[in-house]
């Protein structure tokens, strides 16, 4: 992640909290829900690690290769499970975007001077990445965030609030609330959009 230190810290905190919530969700989910929550927790924590400002920690050169291998494996896994549910296609796009960003931010992966620090790429944004691919990923995540945000708005026949007034069913534990899971996915979509802007 590039940019001012404050925005990096905020993005890191947001992604880490989202990853932690997704990890909590794995305890209450089973089957497909648990697999999705694990994938989202991995994505949240990895995005948090990528967002750490370079003034605090410059990632080692081999760190980007680890990200690429980790999310390359996650992409294959998401592709395999996509035959069971459409949400895994979103995980496939997200994991592939992480591979793309890792390869772009790696030394010699598109930056002008090939240094390992991701701040170096901020000045070489035009040289990093493939503009068409970056644009397609930005469009995908923008549409995903808008769609998720629209689904968070409670709609009832009488015009009043649904359920207990915040859109969820009454009596459901906070870790199992579907609107919180959707809000976390939307948050990660916003974070991914912000990170792609800096490629």
pLDDT digits (tens, 9 = 90+) for 33-42: 788 888 889 8
Distance of alpha carbon 49 from alpha carbon 138, whole angstroms? 21
Residue 111 per-residue DSSP state? -
pLDDT digits (tens, 9 = 90+) for 66-115: 999 999 998 998 888 877 767 778 889 999 999 999 899 877 765 434 33
Distance of alpha carbon 113 from alpha carbon 102, whole angstroms? 16
pTM: 0.76
pLDDT at 194 over 70: yes
Distance of alpha carbon 11 from alpha carbon 47, whole angstroms? 8
Distance of alpha carbon 37 from alpha carbon 21, whole angstroms? 9
What pLDDT, on a 0 to 100 scale, did the predictor assign at position 142? 96
Q: How many angstroms separate the Cα of 97 from the Cα of each of 28, 83, 113, 178?
A: 28, 20, 23, 25
């Amino acid at each position: 992640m590039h940019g001012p230190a404050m925005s990096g810290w905020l993005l890191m905190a947001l992604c880490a909290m989202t990853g932690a919530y997704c990890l909590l969700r794995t305890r209450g989910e089973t089957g497909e829900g648990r697999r999705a929550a694990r994938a989202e927790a991995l994505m949240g924590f990895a995005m948090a690690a990528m967002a750490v400002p370079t003034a605090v920690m410059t990632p080692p050169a081999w760190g980007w290769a680890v990200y690429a291998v980790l999310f390359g494996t996650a992409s294959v896994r998401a592709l395999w499970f996509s035959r069971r549910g459409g949400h895994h296609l979103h995980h496939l796009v997200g994991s592939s975007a992480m591979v793309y960003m890792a390869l772009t931010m790696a030394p010699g992966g598109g930056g002008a001077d090939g240094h390992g620090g991701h701040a170096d790429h901020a000045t070489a944004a035009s040289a990093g990445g493939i503009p068409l691919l970056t644009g397609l990923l930005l469009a995908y995540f923008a549409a995903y965030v808008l769609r998720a945000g629209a689904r968070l708005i409670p709609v009832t026949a009488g015009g009043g609030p649904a359920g207990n007034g915040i859109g969820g069913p009454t009596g459901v534990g906070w870790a199992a609330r579907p609107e919180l899971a959707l809000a976390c996915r939307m948050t990660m979509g916003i974070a991914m959009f912000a990170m792609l802007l800096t490629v």
